[in-house]
Amino acid sequence: MNNRGLSLFPISILTLLAGVSVWLDRVTQQETVVKTDKTRHEPDFTADKLTLRRFDIHGKTQYILVADRMVHYGDDESTELIRPRLDYLNRPEPVRMESEFATVSKDGETVVMTDKVFLRRAATAGKPESTLRTQRMTVWPDDERMRTEAPVTLTQGTTVIDAERMESDNLVGEVRLQGKVRGILYRNLLVPKP
């Protein structure tokens, strides 16, 4: 029996060594797991003097978005724009919308412009210049829609209208003013054609 125990001793030592070797191999081969702190809202990249062009299905420029600075946050995939300007070019009268600050949704389909939001539509034959002023505007650039729950002031030539809320669809040419709406409307005198 003593000889039998001595013959099992090397086998048990080899088994123990093999087990320790496998364990050491697994411990040293594990990939390092990078832990990210999702509670920290820090930028993962920035860009200065950003210009983004959107083309329609025919290859013509639909709009241009320009910003002094863009900051992207990886924790929630949000994007902030400093001094954004949005120019719609696919219409007879150019339209520019600008503000001091904006946030862009994760999918890039919604832009919320805040602080001194200003929209200007250039004058065309038979239509005077139009402007809009508010403090906050949600814009869907691809659909050319916008909405605000903040008070707005609209002007067209000498006409001035104030409203508590507004919705607009530029593709169908519809503006809905809501809440208390007040203003002074002046008839635009059409210049006769020669």
In a structure prediction context, what are the per-residue pLDDT tens digits for the chain, which is 194 residues long?
Answer: 556 555 666 666 666 666 666 676 776 775 555 555 556 777 788 889 988 888 888 888 888 889 999 888 887 778 899 999 988 887 778 889 999 999 988 888 889 999 999 999 888 887 888 899 999 999 988 888 899 999 999 998 888 999 999 999 887 888 899 999 998 888 765 545 55
- The token pair at 131 is 């402007």
Nearest to 100 by CA among 82, 119, 85: 82
Label each residue of 39-59 as H, E or C: CCCCEEEEEEEEEEEEECCCC
